[in-house]
Amino acid sequence: MKSLSRGNPPKCLNTFKHGRDKWCVIFQNNLTDEIWEKLNAMQGDFCAYCECKLHDDNSKRHIEHFIQKDKDSSLTFDWNNLFGSCNTPNRCGKYKDESSQCKEIDLAKVCKPDISDPNKFLLFLNNGKVRPRSDLNNVDSDIAKNTIAVFNLDGDPSLENSRRASIQGEKALAEKYWEMMSDTPSDEFIELLKDELTESLIRVSTKQHSTPLEHLWKYNQGY
């Protein structure tokens, strides 16, 4: 889960109003792809929550209402309430909407990635798991725990395995970097290592599970 920068809304959303129109008009008017174009521009073709690569097939992904339509219908066509999510039933948007446990969680106390930076709350470990950061105050710790719980970011073995596979592809390089950093290098060599880190962070930023990969390079923590 990473910070997202929301662009301009799809023009089609201005055509409809809550109370008069239902969300199904998007499908009935073949406007799904127009919304996905804007979502992909924001998310880079990855799920907003688990950062798995999204399918091009609309039946294998879904346009997610952060605040569910039945909780606040006024947000049905609100661009700021929409994300692109994978269609996996045991995590992300589907899990948030269908799990009885999640329905008890106040979404105002969950990290919304276009508003708050998930890096402030979450730490991804080298073994594919995710934890609340250890330096949080009580309020932020609750947000971290709620975020992990509501999207089931640490309870789906397939997601954990997917993260771990991505991490394995970078682990040897990152561990070599950390090994050189621990050898008390000269100031000149430190600058070279900083350049290596910067280049590596840029390279992984467009990959699946970019945040776990970023945390591998920046923190290299694992239990």
Q: Give residue-wise pLDDT tens across range 8-32.
A: 999 999 999 999 999 999 999 999 9
pLDDT for residue 223 is more than 70: no
Residue 128 has pLDDT above 90, yes or no: yes
Does residue 198 lie in a domain region?
yes
The answer to whether residue 177 is domain-embedded is yes
Query: Is 146 a member of any domain?
Result: no
Closest to 50 in 3D by CA, of 107, 10, 1: 1
Does the structure show a pLDDT above 90 at 58? no
Please check whether residue 65 lies inside any domain of the structure: no
Residue 180 lies in a domain: yes
pTM attached to this predicted model: 0.92
191 found inside a domain: yes
Q: What is the mean pLDDT of residues 190-203?
A: 92
Quick: pLDDT tens for 100-124. Answer: 889 889 999 999 999 999 999 999 9
Question: Residue 182 falls within a domain, yes or no?
Answer: yes
Question: Span 136-159, mean pLDDT?
Answer: 97
Average pLDDT score over residue span 215-219: 95
Q: Is the Cβ–Cβ distance between 84 and 63 less than 8 Å?
A: yes
User: Containing domain of residue 178, as a range?
Assistant: 167-218
Task: Let me know if residue 139 belongs to a domain.
Answer: no
Domain count, the chain: 1
> For position 212, what pLDDT does the model report?
97
